[in-house]
Amino acid sequence: MTYNNDFFDKLLYSVVVFVVGLVLYSLLRKVVKKLFNKNKDTYELKKRTTVIELVLNVVKFFIFGIVIIMILDNYGVDTKGIFASLGIVGVVLGFALQDTVQDFLSGISIIIENYYVIGDVVKIGDFVGEVVDLSLKSTKVLSVSGEKYIFANRNMNSVINLSQERAGVKIDVPTAYEEDVNKVEKVLNGIIAKLKDDENIKDCVYLGVDNLADSSIIYSFMIYCKASERWRIRREALRLVKVEYDKANIKIPYTQIEVHDGKKIV
């Protein structure tokens, strides 16, 4: 039985080239992850993990693209002709998939430029929600009421990241005219002191009497807090106002309607 030495030489060459490419990619992957994930906080790690996977995918296709070319060339395949054909196909696909390509480029920009990551609260026009999924093609945002919206990344060029800024929440407290001002202000300052214990509140400032309305005096204070927590903090502040006003027997006026039966009122 005779063996074709040339065939086995080519087969051995192909196996060696493939194994070298695989080992090179594995080593490169470990080195890159170790370098870029060193001493980073959780927020930064989420962003860097996405970027690293993107870069490593590009590197993987590049390395194994070279491996395939070397193997094909070893077997005498005309790789130049293949490249020419792929070039034509690439141009056609480029025109046909313009929106997809734009989504991918926008996705890369979103990640690299740190526009937002999963868990951030964003505002898109009048819509506000939490980013629950981020890919190179689209961004999924969960609204406050529970609906999940999917936005193409090419349309995410006017996004306000509420998680990366400080929000100001103004609380107006209507109070009956007959209540003593000094007493009211003492209670409000006590409420402010309690609110400051919340780790998401940066500062809380009493503003004073904001308006002398028709049926009440409007006292106001301002809360500066983490933007993504503004709605929860506002609800908590209003609840605390009601609780503390009840404890101090301070009246919050409300609209009342008197109905008469047409008789003369004495």
Indicate if 170 and 159 belong to the same structural domain. no
Residue 256 lies in a domain: no
Residue 27 lies in a domain: yes
For 253, the token pair is 């006026």
Indicate if 13 and 52 belong to the same structural domain. yes
Residue 51 lies in a domain: yes
Q: How many domains does the chain have?
A: 3
Indicate if 11 and 92 belong to the same structural domain. yes
Indicate if 60 and 132 belong to the same structural domain. no
d(CA 87, CA 139): 31
- Asked if 233 and 200 touch (Cβ cutoff 8 Å), the reply is yes
Residue 259 lies in a domain: no
The per-residue pLDDT for 46 is 57
The per-residue pLDDT for 225 is 84
Query: Consecutive 10-residue runs of the chain (266 residues): their mean pLDDT?
Result: 64 82 83 65 57 69 79 73 61 59 75 74 81 80 82 80 74 93 94 89 88 90 82 91 94 74 57
Contacting residues for 102 by C-beta, under 8 A, at least 6 apart: 153, 154
The per-residue pLDDT for 1 is 47
The per-residue pLDDT for 261 is 64
The per-residue pLDDT for 53 is 64
Indicate if 10 and 81 belong to the same structural domain. yes
Tokens 């040339």 appear where? 6
Indicate if 10 and 85 belong to the same structural domain. yes
Q: Residue 124 is part of a domain; what is its CATH number?
A: 2.30.30.60
Indicate if 86 and 45 belong to the same structural domain. yes
Residue 102 lies in a domain: no
Q: Residue 175 is part of a domain; what is its CATH number?
A: 3.30.70.100
Amino acid at 195: L
- Asked if 184 and 247 touch (Cβ cutoff 8 Å), the reply is no
d(CA 210, CA 155): 41
Mind giving me the DSSP string for the chain?
----HHHHHHHHHHHHHHHHHHHHHHHHHHHHHHHHTTT--HHHHHHHHHHHHHHHHHHHHHHHHHHHHHHHHHTT--HHHHHHHHHHHHHHHHHHTHHHHHHHHHHHHHHHTTS--TT-EEEETTEEEEEEEE-SSEEEEEETTS-EEEEEGGG-SSEEEGGGSEEEEEEEEEE-TTS-HHHHHHHHHHHHHHHTTSTTEEEEEEEEEEEE-SS-EEEEEEEEEEGGGHHHHHHHHHHHHHHHHHHTT------------SSPP-
pTM of this structure:
0.44
Residue 260 lies in a domain: no
Indicate if 158 and 176 belong to the same structural domain. no
Indicate if 179 and 202 belong to the same structural domain. yes
**Domain enclosing residue 9, as ranges:** 5-96
- Asked if 17 and 70 touch (Cβ cutoff 8 Å), the reply is yes
